[in-house]
Amino acid sequence: MAEEERVKNIRLRDYEQFGLYLTLKDSTEIAFTAEHIEKVTMEYWRNPDKIPPSVKEAVAFQRCPFCPLKKKKDFCDALRPILPLLDVVDVYTSYDEVIAVYRGEDKELCHLSFTSMQRALRYLSTLSLMGYCQVGRKYWKYFTGIIPIMRTKEIINRLYLNIYWIHKGDKGSVDQVISRLNSEITITARNQAERLRLICKNDAFLNAFVLTHLITEELNEFKDAKLMEQLESFEKNRRYS
């Protein structure tokens, strides 16, 4: 009944921009939109009270060794979706309940979920690693149509299908993409976690990155089983067509 009452107060017109919107138990609202991210990122970075010079100069805080922009003396691009939100998110823990509203690129649809903070923040970790990271952004196309507040199994299935269809079912290409994706995300997720340990008090963001990494790891581990599922599905549909 409590959830039903909370849903009644949700007005879809309040979620017009592409992104993720969270409402916490104390009614705090957080908007994860591109406009908000870009608006406050540089202000946050330039404020020494937010990130002290000692943290900026720490080895763990530098760009990854294989980043094409590693010689630039600024911050890792993958931090952009996170920096403006640390003050708010750090007040809560991974398992705090939230209402998550996701507005995709199709503005006619909104997706509502009652979930935990760490699962809701998985959207930010995916955006960080695959949307902003200079290395990971080449994988963003494989996340087309994935709703970040889906269950983990659903995300893995959709991710596999996207890779499978983009590469026209070629097993060698599919295996190569999945293996490379997992290998590179393993490194970037680990490095991002090290950066976050320097600036985060609680574990919500850290666990969100772990969840994103587990998606690519499980996809890599079971890619052959996923291929068999697709082949069996194809044969079944062909028999009944």
pLDDT digits (tens, 9 = 90+) for 150-171: 788 888 888 998 998 899 889 8
Distance CA 217, CA 228 (A): 18
Q: What is the pLDDT of residue 1?
A: 42
Q: What is the pLDDT of residue 232?
A: 64
* Residues 84, 36 contacting (CB under 8 angstroms): yes
Q: What is the pLDDT of residue 181?
A: 92
Q: What is the pLDDT of residue 173?
A: 93
Q: Can you list the residues of the chain whose pLDDT is less than 50?
A: 1
Distance CA 89, CA 98 (A): 12
Distance CA 193, CA 60 (A): 9
* Residues 184, 135 contacting (CB under 8 angstroms): yes
